[in-house]
Structure 1
Amino acid sequence: MPLGPLTDYLRAQGLVGAEAIEVSPLSGGQSNPTFRITAGDNAYVLRKKPAGQLAPSAHAIDREYRVMRALQGSDVPVPRMLAYCENESIVGTPFYLMDFLEGRVFMDPALPGMDKAERAAVYREMGRVIAALHSVDIAAVGLADYGRTGQYVQRQIDRWSRQCRALPVPLDQAMLDLMAWLPAHLPEGDETTLVHGDYRIDNLVFHPTEPRVIGVLDWELSTLGHPLADLAYHCMAWNVPPALWRGMGGLDFAALGIPSEAQYLADYQAATGRDAQGHWSFYMAYNLFRMTAILYGIAQRAADGSAASADAEETGRKAGPLARLGWEWAQRHGAAG
């Protein structure tokens, strides 16, 4: 990180004075390199595009900045956005700045170290926030043009299928099966809301001591889309084994104090009025396909040397098992008629 140009920029923005700045990388995230900047008593976050050749429409930090700025003061907690800069001469790529949130980030959805009541409170809050997200008045916050309206799932299937076919990495047979099966089994009915695209527990910052979300992060995949597709992505955690991908499939939820998936969906329906049960196996298969596509992209970036995380290669190897799990859900959908 070139500290000289960055210091000059921060001073020009009025974010630091004469004091020296310190920059350190923040862990988490495979896509956009993220850093903590400290200067005296001030702490900020800088998030930038990675260097190298990038896929079209990927690493959309400009969209991250726009959506979080639009949500300031809403029922969806987000950090205060400070500046967006397209000048590549400062840190090598475009970047944005936001407040650093002092809080807790939980990497394991099973929440080890908590008691049952604490886990239940965290999951109630997490469910409240995603219900609020899907209830945002997109016109009122200036996001009516943030994406296309309608046919979100179909367009996502087409987009990720095209990107996967363009990758040199070999695709698992289950992924090829999903790419053929999903477009032929699209559910009837449609709805458009703001969707996060990557809503999961480790993209939330909780208050240091309270079960309260103070910031939803990592909005790169956000757009206008179908809320149940967004919800099903979030609920993959209930179905994916911990050894495979940030999941808790197979755990004893009652013993942990974590609501069952059915209870979580019932609470969402009570908050939003949406029936989340219909076509659930399709949306789960779709999201496992989508997550697989993302992991294949990470695997390719690891091969190219442009991945932002040191464990990118290992992460990419999980794509095949996730695709096979998605194909199991597709077959379950067919068995249910």
Structure 2
Amino acid sequence: MSDDGNPAKPVRDEDAFDTAAVQEWLGLGPIEEVRQFPGGASNLTYLLRMTDRELILRRPPSGQKAAGAHDMGREHRIQAALAPVFPYVPEMVGFCEDEALIGSPFYVMAKVEGTVPRRDLPPTMSRDDVSTLCGNAWDVLAELHSVDVAAHPELAALGRGEGYVGRQVAGWTSRFAKARTEDTGDWSAIEAWIAAHQPDDVAQVLIHNDFRLDNLVVAPDDPTRVVGVLDWEMATVGDPLMDLGGSMAYWVEESDDEFFQMFRRQPSQAPGMWTRAEIVERYTRRMGYDVSPDQWLFYEVFGLYRLAVIAQQIWYRYFHGQTTNEQYAVFGPAVGYLESRCRRLTGT
């Protein structure tokens, strides 16, 4: 992970932790400075600067959390198990499950050297370079989905068998109900459409569940080459098209409306980036999935719905004063926008 595009800043008071306790637990020498990465709206990420290295610490946010979410031990185990067969995960340093140490479980990993492609790309990148980066990024997702999960018991144990799509529909609907605030719109017609149109699973593979450009690291000497994939909080064994649909919910094209442009967190609008349709066509062709536009509509709508639930969970914490991070103030309006987008697509 690099500071570029997402500079680590002083730690917010509400997110501070006992540095001396972490230093003693690590046993790798003094921690000279702790900084906090402002990007992201889920788990908290910190830079630990030491004399001879820089490490990354990840821990959950404060406030109400969805059941099963923000599991630091699980995130650590997935990356440790995946490392031998997928060269894009950071090196794990250690996991601490003792909440007494800093108030929550946490894990520490090596910093991946490179740059995270955030809202904008360097102006020196040509259209061809941008297109190459885009293709390489989605090839990495296809590479992840091609990992032989059955050959690795630690990864296979993540799966719950067939019915992943149905479990996701039920699970995210339940999470939405629990995170409602007084300003949440009426999503009942959209939820009914999703329930009525859910398909069978197309496969059972390892999925990232939050695959975006701003969760990747590109090489310091080649901005088109992916060297790291970050943020494995929601990774599991499931349907690959659900993974792709979730990613497309974040993919803001140059032609999208003004509000969606404001919603953008990655440089998906840069000249040379592919459209959502082009990415879906390239991915499904490479993976051998025959998916018509009518069939793809479910994955597109559910990806937007899931994104709305994530935004609502964050908005819930802000709405109830469980966090004072002003970056979260936009998540309430974002939920309303995603509702209108889902209605347009489903005709509800």
TM-score under structure 2 normalisation? Answer: 0.85
Q: What's 1:155 paired with?
A: 167
Q: Does 1:203 align with 2:218?
A: no
**Contact 1:76 1:132 survives alignment (8 Å):** no
Letter in 1 for 2:46: F
The superposition leaves residues 28-48 of structure 1 with CA deviations (integer Å, 9 ceiling, x where unpaired) of 111111101011021100001
Give the whole-Å Cα distance in 1 for the aligned partners of 2:225 and 2:91: 17
Q: What's 2:55 paired with?
A: 44
Give the whole-Å Cα distance in 2 for the aligned partners of 1:300 and 1:266: 36
Alpha carbons of structure 1 residues 93 and 330: separation in structure 2 relative to 1, 3 Å: same
Deviation of 1:168 after TM superposition, in Å, equals 4.1
Q: Quote the sequence identity (%).
A: 32
Q: Does 1:230 align with 2:239?
A: no
Q: Does 1:89 align with 2:108?
A: no
Q: What's 1:242 paired with?
A: 261
Matched position secondary structure for 2:228: strand
Letter in 1 for 2:89: V
1:88-127 matches, cutoff 5 A: 88-108=99-119, 111=121, 113=123, 114-127=125-138
2:149 to 138, 154, 173: 138
Give the whole-Å Cα distance in 2 for the aligned partners of 1:221 and 1:189: 18
Deviation of 1:73 after TM superposition, in Å, equals 2.9
The superposition leaves residues 193-222 of structure 1 with CA deviations (integer Å, 9 ceiling, x where unpaired) of 111111111111111121221111111111
Greater Cα offset, 111-120 or 239-248: 239-248
Greater Cα offset, 176-185 or 164-173: 164-173
Give the whole-Å Cα distance in 1 for the aligned partners of 2:180 and 2:194: 22
Alpha carbons of structure 1 residues 327 and 152: separation in structure 2 relative to 1, 3 Å: farther
Letter in 2 for 1:263: E
Q: What's 1:305 paired with?
A: 321
**Contact 1:265 1:277 survives alignment (8 Å):** no
Q: What's 2:67 paired with?
A: 56
Give the whole-Å Cα distance in 1 for the aligned partners of 2:35 and 2:226: 24
**Contact 1:79 1:101 survives alignment (8 Å):** yes
Letter in 2 for 1:221: M
Q: What's 1:321 paired with?
A: 337
Q: What's 2:276 paired with?
A: 261
Q: What's 1:79 paired with?
A: 90
**Contact 2:118 2:266 survives alignment (8 Å):** no
**Contact 1:134 1:194 survives alignment (8 Å):** yes
The superposition leaves residues 263-299 of structure 1 with CA deviations (integer Å, 9 ceiling, x where unpaired) of 3233223432223445111110011011001111000
Length, aligned pairs only: 321
Give the whole-Å Cα distance in 2 for the aligned partners of 1:214 and 1:159: 32
Alpha carbons of structure 1 residues 56 and 274: separation in structure 2 relative to 1, 3 Å: same
Alpha carbons of structure 1 residues 39 and 188: separation in structure 2 relative to 1, 3 Å: closer
Letter in 2 for 1:72: A
**Contact 2:301 2:345 survives alignment (8 Å):** yes
**Contact 2:64 2:317 survives alignment (8 Å):** no
Letter in 2 for 1:133: L
Give the whole-Å Cα distance in 2 for the aligned partners of 1:70 and 1:308: 36
Give the whole-Å Cα distance in 2 for the aligned partners of 1:243 and 1:53: 27
Q: Does 1:220 align with 2:233?
A: yes
Letter in 1 for 2:227: I
Give the whole-Å Cα distance in 1 for the aligned partners of 2:319 and 2:135: 40
The Cα RMSD (Å) is 2.2
Unaligned regions of 5+ residues in structure 2, if any?
1-16
1:22-41 matches, cutoff 5 A: 22-41=33-52
Matched position secondary structure for 1:271: helix
Give the whole-Å Cα distance in 2 for the aligned partners of 1:247 and 1:172: 27
**Contact 1:302 1:313 survives alignment (8 Å):** yes
Unaligned regions of 5+ residues in structure 1, if any?
none
Q: 4+ residue runs of structure 1 moved beyond 4 angstroms?
A: none
Q: What's 1:167 paired with?
A: 179
